[in-house]
Structure 1
Amino acid sequence: MTNWINTVSRDHVERAVRGRFTQANHGKPHMLRKMARGDWLVFYSPRTVYPDGPPLQAFTAIGRIADDEAYQADITPDLQPWRRNVDFLDCVETPIRPLIDRLGFIQDKTRWGYKFRFGVFTIDDADLDVIRSAMMVTAPTLAQ
């Protein structure tokens, strides 16, 4: 099992949670094809709205991949992004700054945002536990 972070603005995360899916890298399939059923997926949102909304810098959703392969959604003739189905958990939006010192995937704590420029990347179980524990406080969720 692999743990993933997907860097996506909050407005796009909200659409994904409502639709029970994820997209990555502007609808391209290559990273989605690496995911497997049961993999954990955490969404990090640098901004509230894509592309120039106010900064947010928070984890905004968490779930597990719920299908066996990527599929292409037929939105319009010009828009057919690749997706994976996701079972989202109830969670709270969680600012990253209080977690930075505990996250091993952030090697340079002074330039912590660098890693998120890759869009989708893997994290280890210890980092997933830190993030999941912070997000799983009983409270209203994006999934509602």
Structure 2
Amino acid sequence: MAIRYWLLVHPLDRARELVETGVARVTWGNEQPVWSFREADGVIIYSPREYNPDGEPLRAAVAAGRVTGEAYQLGGHGTPRWVAPVDWLPGARIAPIRPLRDMLELTRDTRFWGEQLRDGWVELSQRDFMILEDAVRPTAPEPSGFAIDASRDGASRPEHPRTAPVSDTRARAEQAWRDWDANR
């Protein structure tokens, strides 16, 4: 079966709760949409507000993940909720939709794109999923000073522009450990 992609609508506080518990659900805990989720399907959470009903407007993608198993029902008081297990991208950042609007098929060529989100979920194209997943992906860490020095030293050697001699690299690494140990 083909992989499908979904956008779920939740306020930021509820989105964080879902990410922490490792599940995805549709607003009001509806069963039908969650049963459409299959293993490896992509899921994006869009947050129109920080919290319901009167939170500050956010209008951003806040999480991305992949479904890892079958949907199941959570018990409890009131209406049962249906959820699917999801492996969420760790450290996702908040990605406002406005800069992405012209790139996304979901939002392009319509001023009233939010109308289609009233049910709390919508199927996305693979392209839209990839754009949104990339937007929430955390940035790469800055290289350490040691890595910058090592690459600079290695690049300045005309005989071996890509690698430093093993003994030189080992000496710098040992010195870096000693420096780090001394500053603890």
User: For the superposition of Structure 1 and Structure 2, which TM-score range results when normalised by the shorter chain?
Assistant: 0.7 to 0.9
Does the Cα contact within 8 Å between 1:92 and 1:139 map onto a contact in 2? no
Tell me if 1:112 matches 2:113. Answer: yes
Q: TM-score, normalised by structure 2?
A: 0.70
- Decide which moves more: 104-113 or 127-136: 104-113
Aligned to 1:18: 20
Give the strand-richer structure, 1 or 2. 1
Q: TM-score, normalised by structure 1?
A: 0.88
Relative contact order: is structure 1 or structure 2 higher (C-alpha 8 Å, sep ≥ 6)? 1
Q: What is the deviation of 1:130?
A: 1.3
Unaligned residue ranges in structure 1 (runs of 5+): none
Specify whether residues 43 and 139 from structure 1 end up closer, same or farther in structure 2 by C-alpha distance, changes over 3 A only. Answer: farther
CA deviations on 1:18-65 (whole Å, 9 max, x unpaired) are 100111131111000011000000000001002221111000111011
Identity of aligned residues (%): 31
CA distance, structure 1, for counterparts of residue 131 and residue 33 of structure 2: 23
Tell me if 1:100 matches 2:101. Answer: yes
Aligned to 1:81: 81
Does the Cα contact within 8 Å between 1:101 and 1:109 map onto a contact in 2? no
Q: What is the deviation of 1:105?
A: 1.8
RMSD: 1.7
* 1:41-80 aligned within 5 A: 41-67=43-69, 69-74=70-75, 76-80=76-80
Q: What is the deviation of 1:79?
A: 4.4
Q: What is the deviation of 1:128?
A: 1.3
**SS, match of residue 47 in structure 2:** strand
Tell me how many residue pairs correspond in the alignment: 138
Q: What is the deviation of 1:78?
A: 2.0
Q: What is the deviation of 1:80?
A: 2.5
**Aligned with 2:39 (options 28, 33, 37):** 37
Does the Cα contact within 8 Å between 1:7 and 1:43 map onto a contact in 2? yes
- For 1:36, give the aligned amino acid: R
- For 2:12, give the aligned amino acid: R
Larger Rg: 2
Give the helix-richer structure, 1 or 2. 2
